[in-house]
Chains A and B, each alone.
Chain A
Amino acid sequence: MPEINGLGHSMRRKEDPRFIRGQGNYIDDIKLPGMLWLDIVRSPYAHARIKNIDTSRAAKIPGVLGFVTGRDLEKYNLHWMPTLMSDRQMVLPTDTVKYQSQEVVGVIAADRYAAADGVAAVEVEYEPLPVVVDPIKALQPGAVKVRDDKDSNHIWHWEVGDKAATEQAFKDAATVVREQIYLPRIHVASIETCGCVADWDPANQHLTLYMTTQAPHAIRTVLALVAGHVGLSEENIRVVSPDIGGGFGGKVPVYPGYVIAVAASVLLGKPIKWIEDRSENLQADSFARDYHITAELAADKDGRITAMRLKTVADHGYSDAQAAPSKFPAGLFHIATGSYDFQKAHVEVDGVYTHKPPGGVAYRCSFRVTEAVHAIERMVDILAHERGEDPAAFRMKNFIKPEQFPYRSALGWEYDSGDYHKALRLAMDMIGYEALRREQAEKRARGELMGIGISSFTEIVGAGPSHTFDILGIKMFDSCELRVHPTGKAIARFGTKSQGQGHETTYAQIIAEELGIPAEHVKVEEGDTDTAPYGLGTYASRSTPTAGAAGALAARKVRDKARKLAAHLLECAEEDLVWERGRFYVKGAPARAKTIQDIALAAYTNHPPGMEAGLEAVHYYDPPNLTYPFGSYICVVDIDRGTGQVKVRRFVAVDDCGVRINPMIVEGQIHGGLTMGFAPAMLEEIRYDENGNIYGGTFMDYLVPTAVESPKWEVGETTTPSPHHPFGAKGVGESPTVGAPPAIANAVVDALWHLGVRHIDIPITAPKVYALLKKHGAALEE
């Protein structure tokens, strides 16, 4: 019998054997008989009227078979589709385009080369129209209106907190700091782009849609709801999410390409494949962030934080296609009071339309948490510096104390558990904080620039309790269906979908822990809506908090039935049985025992009269609360006064994600998450010129870090279990992405504070730093 490999074991991943042999099954690996290709003509303009579309030259190209335009889709009322935030976006335009690289015409061809030839030969005549790309300008009177179906560019206003009490607290404060913080538009850029194969079977009126989606069940329901009128009925829709080459939030939304592929398959009765290329992926898929924040923090005379105020302009592009729970137009941005104990806060966010691609999605974070954490962690640092206090000591003084949990935050969240002092203390010990401060002082005296930055973040993940969380009305529970076979092996299916997180391994370990069946003997399946139970998918670090919990509880239901079977087999009362992982024995007689394998066999061969055969259970888990992972990160940077180059010398990350299932996988996720925190802090940005032309639309100028730039991470852990999760886990995949950027920004500002620098927006590029050095007279000139 193999090792059980329950919780806490760094077993090797079950998905690895196929991936290291090149035997994964990703979307572009799917090939169906008779399959045709979709490629897409895109707009060169950010705003233009389509005067004419001429496909005659393209139609003559060998292999080009047909075209799909907005006018074609309009006949079926499919030229528009709802976004996840109940706004709407064009599938294909009938009159005007609203962002550069917007989909304009679908070209169907026999192979990918012919499709690309067809795209190049379609002639579209545009009349360019005025463009607004700056959301602040878009809100001014007389601004160009982005949406023809709306009154203005202002989408919504949202606020939370006690405004009057917060204002009073600011009036009473001894110290107030204020800063403009911009979190730029970035892109998750998973190495696999998006794509699908839509396969409509006319005879059976059945659609199989293979699709790069993080949430296959929700996609099936949405398809049935928006395309029911053209014959798509939910029992005849099967969505299959195959192996996914990274998601990070970018594979949550529905993009026009998917819908065009489905429409073309239905129209032609042939399987249609659409695989976007990298430039399309960067230029047109949902972006993240683009938050313009005015942040204020107040403290009393003793340096205790008393209040926070945030006013934010959220640039959503031409449609609010945010992937967030419907109650929260700014996601969970109101986690912004962070790890600190103060009770006055007020947060306002205004959503704005501009001529940019619609969004936004998360960038490996729970809905808008990175923006919130960046704001509070930057402001706490500024406040500490302003008061001349050490940023670590200032945090220690203001942290929520361990005995205050569960803690009710000023903006209404109930933090489940935490020990912030312990995590920061460990990070300080690991990095040698006091010695570094001495080194910094010596270097500063010599004119060298070195900075130490801290970020002590609180995450909010595991969405979520159904009383508060839904996507388009579907509650955000998740599920597990567990079946134990006669030979004691099992299959467990979940409503989530791994994109590299290793669910096939960690979910098996959860079942192993609960039932004593070796993880190797538990097969995990996800992503096929015909077989998996309904769930809301994998994003926002929700898989372990929700589906993982469902797995544990389904296993406990199986164990309850196993107890009845064991009592039958051992001819004793159920109450006389003791469970020891993997077996029941009779109290006081440990040799009289039945293993879970004995019991599984009996469930099919020797079950007592009156009991149903089989050994299986389904559990739909509705979490009572979110989980609140946290951590403290410390970053050390050296800055070259001659170039402005920032070198991350050391970076210590202490994470507390509650109980860890597979420590090896957790650590791997932390490494990856930290690197995806480093990336926007130092390199990544998607910018637009005033005409709406994109900068950063290919991998030549959108700089994903390589192994050379990526820092060598030093990781540590504390463990504060979640009190409400069945086995105390909290989720971890995104914490490092959330926590890392302010640690880096704080380190850079810490290095420059004495020169008069108070803030620097990310990405912290060498030219930006060099300009600051020049401005403050600290640059080394040639």
Chain B
Amino acid sequence: MSTHHIQLTINGQTREADVPARLLLVHLIRDNFDLTGTHIGCDTTSCGACTVLLNGKPVKSCTVLAVQADGGEVLTVEGLEQGGQLHPVQEGFTAKHGLQCGFCTPGMMMTAVALLRENPDPTEDEIRWGISGNLCRCTGYMNIVKAIQYAAEKMKTREPQPA
């Protein structure tokens, strides 16, 4: 198995690692970098619990090789809060009770962040389709939708955040 030296920015910090070619990005994040907020919920790229942003786009990090992130920028749930201020999506999830067991929550929030960057004013249907790659077993999605609507509203009135 070949080993590769990779360097990437994760939540604004530059990190390096020597990784086997087959190492999955989610394991790099969880096991090598100890950022355990990104979860694993399946083995078929179905559940979205492992969603992170890679170069600004949401990816299921269980289906991306760590070497594919070489030179890239990764944002995980741990990078959402800035300077002690929660991201509006995080605020929305607690204000609107958008989480119960919390296991799908990080992936769901990362998808929501990407969705709102692309479409700052989504309709309910656009939100539902936008998060349809993320499974939640606890909430029935009703309050997740409300949480994302809350965040969209908040982000309209808040200073734009650095990308």
Interface residues of A (CB under 8 A from B): 12-13, 15-24, 26, 28-29, 31, 112-113, 188-193, 243-246, 248, 277-279, 499-502, 664-665, 667-669, 671-676, 698-700, 704, 706-708, 710, 712-713
List chain B residues, Cβ under 8 A from A707. Answer: 127-129, 131-132, 134, 136, 141, 144-145
Q: Is the Cβ of B97 less than 8 Å from the Cβ of A19? A: no
Give the residue among B81, B94, B105, B137 with the most A Cβ atoms within 10 A.
B137
Q: Is the Cβ of B47 less than 8 Å from the Cβ of A245? A: no
Chain B 93-147 interface residues, beta-carbon cutoff 8 Å to A: 93-95, 97, 99-106, 109, 127-129, 131-145
Given A500-B138, A671-B143, A707-B128: A22 and B44 within 8 A (CB)?
A: no
The digit string for B23-54, where 1 denotes a CB below 8 A from any CB of A, is 10001001000111111111110110100000
Q: Is the Cβ of B44 less than 8 Å from the Cβ of A278? A: yes
Q: Is the Cβ of B101 less than 8 Å from the Cβ of A699? A: no
Q: Is the Cβ of A20 less than 8 Å from the Cβ of B105? A: yes
Q: Is the Cβ of A699 less than 8 Å from the Cβ of B44? A: yes
Q: In the complex the two chains form, what is the Cα distance from A674 to B38 in whole Å? A: 27
Q: In the complex the two chains form, what is the Cα distance from A322 to B82 in whole Å? A: 48
Q: Is the Cβ of B94 less than 8 Å from the Cβ of A191? A: no
Q: Is the Cβ of B44 less than 8 Å from the Cβ of A21? A: no
Minimal Cβ-Cβ distance residue in A for B107: A191
Asked if B56 CB lies within 8 Å of chain A CBs, one says: no
Asked if B4 CB lies within 8 Å of chain A CBs, one says: no
B25 → chain A closest CB, angstroms:
14
List 9 additional contacts besides A29-B30, A699-B44; criterion CB under 8 Å. Answer: A12-B95, A13-B94, A19-B102, A20-B102, A21-B81, A22-B37, A23-B37, A502-B100, A676-B137
Q: Is the Cβ of A20 less than 8 Å from the Cβ of B94? A: yes
Q: In the complex the two chains form, what is the Cα distance from A22 to B86 in whole Å? A: 12
List chain B residues, Cβ under 8 A from A12. Answer: 94-95, 97
Pick 22 A–B contacts, CB within 8 A, sort by A.
A16-B94, A19-B99, A20-B93, A21-B81, A22-B35, A22-B76, A24-B102, A31-B34, A113-B23, A191-B103, A243-B102, A248-B137, A500-B101, A668-B97, A668-B139, A668-B143, A671-B139, A672-B100, A699-B42, A706-B131, A707-B131, A712-B142
Given A16-B93, A278-B41: A671 and B137 within 8 A (CB)?
A: no
Minimal Cβ-Cβ distance residue in A for B104: A191
Contacting residue for A20 out of B109, B127, B143, CB 8 A: B109
List chain A residues, Cβ under 8 A from B35. Answer: 22
List chain B residues, Cβ under 8 A from A190. Answer: 101, 103, 137
Asked if B149 CB lies within 8 Å of chain A CBs, one says: no
A508 → chain B closest CB, angstroms:
16
List chain A residues, Cβ under 8 A from B94. Answer: 12-13, 16-17, 20
Asked if B77 CB lies within 8 Å of chain A CBs, one says: yes
Q: Is the Cβ of B27 less than 8 Å from the Cβ of A246? A: no
Contacting residue for B44 out of A13, A31, A188, A700, CB 8 A: A700
Q: Is the Cβ of A710 less than 8 Å from the Cβ of B42? A: no
Minimal Cβ-Cβ distance residue in A for B105: A19
A595 → chain B closest CB, angstroms:
30
Q: In the complex the two chains form, what is the Cα distance from A278 to B135 in whole Å? A: 13
Give the residue among B78, B142, B143 with the most A Cβ atoms within 10 A.
B142
Minimal Cβ-Cβ distance residue in A for B129: A708
Q: In the complex the two chains form, what is the Cα distance from A68 to B150 in whole Å? A: 52
